């Protein structure tokens, strides 16, 4: 099994559950068509502020961003229930010793589930702290047997136009795909998440299995994964294909490399209060001590 990682964040650092689930509602004004500026009421109790009043279940589940179910903020609530997640399997192929279709239950039976409390930084310049439940991706890759010629890991989201009405439109080149370098994928910080707040991940948030790479922008954490392929060449990624000028392959959190349409130097903390100041964005989202060595000698302006 892979090395177990122990972080410094605690439950007191976690973004309030209502703010996490309802983040699209409490973000108000937009920048370049992307919601950035507004913040929800209240502050984290751990920082001495008033606790957030929980939103209703309808509010919590009405605003989400999962384009396969539509681009409107209420579309995931209206449409995600159509997604069938049982049974579920993940095809693992390419440069592995034991390729095949791995049933979700089989995967879980071979993994060590644990809680990881991570910072989460969106490319839209907002942030939060999330308690994930999951297992290290390295353990799953070791289960399949990584061959010595493998250099990259490619991921693919389920594509079911009959269940995912958003895929009937050319918002992106479906299916949604992502990729990591093998050393990034095998890093102990990289996990496959199955739960949030001690519950199964809701369908609109990527059930039943999604990637979480905490030092990269959130769109790298691909949802509802059905295929993992080991390759010897850099795989295509959905947002990079859509706009390579704005979304690089690496997409590491980097306050020194701005998005072409806004600064990445600061961020808004969800749950931080309506008039809270923007806080500085940390290099690698604060995980530089653990991951900076992966990029030693690289030009992070060019390899953004």
> Is residue 31 domain-resident?
no
Closest CA to 176 of 236, 238, 228, 226: 238
Q: Band of the pLDDT at 52, cuts 50, 70, 90? A: low
Span 117-137, pLDDT tens digits: 888 898 989 887 778 899 999
> Is residue 237 domain-resident?
yes
Q: Band of the pLDDT at 53, cuts 50, 70, 90? A: very low
- 252 appears as a binding residue in the annotation: no
pLDDT of res. 7: 72
pLDDT of res. 265: 98
> Is residue 248 domain-resident?
yes
Residue 272 vs residue 71, higher pLDDT: 71
pLDDT of res. 46: 28
- 122 appears as a binding residue in the annotation: yes
Task: Report the range of poorest mean pLDDT among 114-118, 195-199, 284-288.
Answer: 195-199
Span 62-97, pLDDT tens digits: 336 678 988 765 777 778 899 999 999 999 999 999
> Is residue 45 domain-resident?
no
- 223 appears as a binding residue in the annotation: yes
- 205 appears as a binding residue in the annotation: yes
> Is residue 265 domain-resident?
yes
> Is residue 170 domain-resident?
yes
pLDDT of res. 24: 44
> Is residue 214 domain-resident?
yes
**How far apart (Å, rounded) are the C-alpha atoms in residues 14 and 1?**
27
pLDDT of res. 269: 78
- 118 appears as a binding residue in the annotation: no
Give the global pTM: 0.83
- 79 appears as a binding residue in the annotation: no
DSSP character string of the chain: -PPPP--S--GGGSPPHHHHHTHHHH--SEETTEE-S---S---GGGTSPPPPPPPHHHHHH----GGG-SSTTHHHHHGGG---SS-EEEEEESBSS-EEEEHHHHHHTS--EEEEEEEE-TTSEEEEEEEEEEEHHHHHHHH-B-TT--EEEEEE---TTT-GGGGSTTSSSSPEEEEEHHHHTSTT-EEEEEETTEEPPGGGTTT-EEE-TTB-GGGS--SEEEEEEESSPPP-HHHHH-TTT--SS-B--TTS-BTTB--SEEEETTS-TTPPPEEPPGGGGTHHHHGGGGTT--TTT--
- 98 appears as a binding residue in the annotation: no
pLDDT of res. 26: 40
Residue 34: is its pLDDT beyond 80? Answer: no
Q: What mean pLDDT comes out for the span 37-57?
A: 30
Residue 267 vs residue 274, higher pLDDT: 267
Count how many Cα atoms sit within 13 Å of the Cα of residue 141 in the half-sphere of its side chain: 32
Task: Report the range of poorest mean pLDDT among 10-14, 140-144, 248-252.
Answer: 10-14
pLDDT of res. 174: 97
**How far apart (Å, rounded) are the C-alpha atoms in residues 245 and 163?**
32
Q: Domain span at residue 249? A: 83-271+278-295
Residue 286: is its pLDDT beyond 80? Answer: yes
Number of domains composing the chain: 1
Residue 55: is its pLDDT beyond 60? Answer: no
- 221 appears as a binding residue in the annotation: yes
Task: Report the range of poorest mean pLDDT among 51-55, 101-105, 164-168, 227-231.
Answer: 51-55
Average pLDDT for the chain: 82
For residue 22 the two structure tokens come to 């309802």
| Residue percentage of the chain with pLDDT more than 70 | 77
> Is residue 111 domain-resident?
yes
**How far apart (Å, rounded) are the C-alpha atoms in residues 71 and 49?**
34
pLDDT of res. 19: 61
**How far apart (Å, rounded) are the C-alpha atoms in residues 300 and 251?**
10
**How far apart (Å, rounded) are the C-alpha atoms in residues 30 and 37?**
6
242: CATH = 3.90.420.10
Span 163-222, pLDDT tens digits: 999 999 999 999 999 999 999 999 999 999 998 878 898 898 889 999 999 999 999 999
């Amino acid at each position: 099994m892979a090395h177990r990682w122990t972080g410094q964040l605690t439950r007191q650092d976690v973004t309030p559950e209502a703010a996490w689930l309802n983040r699209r509602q409490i973000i108000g004004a937009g920048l370049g068509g992307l919601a950035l500026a507004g913040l929800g009421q209240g502050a984290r109790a751990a920082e001495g502020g008033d606790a957030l009043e929980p939103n209703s279940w309808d509010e919590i589940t009405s605003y989400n961003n999962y384009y396969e179910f539509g681009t409107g903020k209420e579309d995931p609530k209206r449409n995600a229930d159509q997604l069938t997640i049982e049974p579920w399997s993940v095809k693992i192929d390419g440069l592995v010793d034991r390729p095949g279709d791995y049933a979700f239950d089989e995967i879980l039976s071979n993994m060590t589930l644990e809680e990881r409390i991570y910072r989460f930084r969106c490319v839209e310049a907002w942030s939060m702290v999330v308690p994930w439940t999951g297992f290290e991706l390295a353990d799953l890759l070791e289960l399949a047997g990584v061959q010595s010629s493998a250099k990259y890991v490619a991921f693919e989201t389920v594509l079911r136009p009959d269940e995912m009405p958003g895929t009937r439109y050319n918002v992106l080149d479906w299916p949604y795909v992502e990729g990591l370098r093998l050393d990034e994928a095998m890093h102990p910080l990289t996990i496959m998440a199955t739960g949030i707040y001690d519950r199964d991940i809701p369908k609109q948030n990527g059930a039943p299995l999604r990637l979480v790479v905490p030092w990269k922008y959130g769109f790298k954490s691909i949802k509802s994964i059905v295929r993992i392929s080991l390759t010897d060449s850099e795989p295509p990624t959905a947002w990079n294909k859509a706009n390579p000028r704005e979304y690089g392959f690496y997409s590491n959190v980097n306050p020194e490399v701005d998005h072409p349409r806004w600064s990445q130097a600061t961020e808004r903390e969800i749950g931080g209060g309506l008039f809270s100041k923007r806080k500085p964005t940390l290099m690698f989202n604060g995980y530089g001590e653990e991951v900076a060595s992966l990029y030693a000698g690289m030009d992070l302006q060019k390899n953004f």
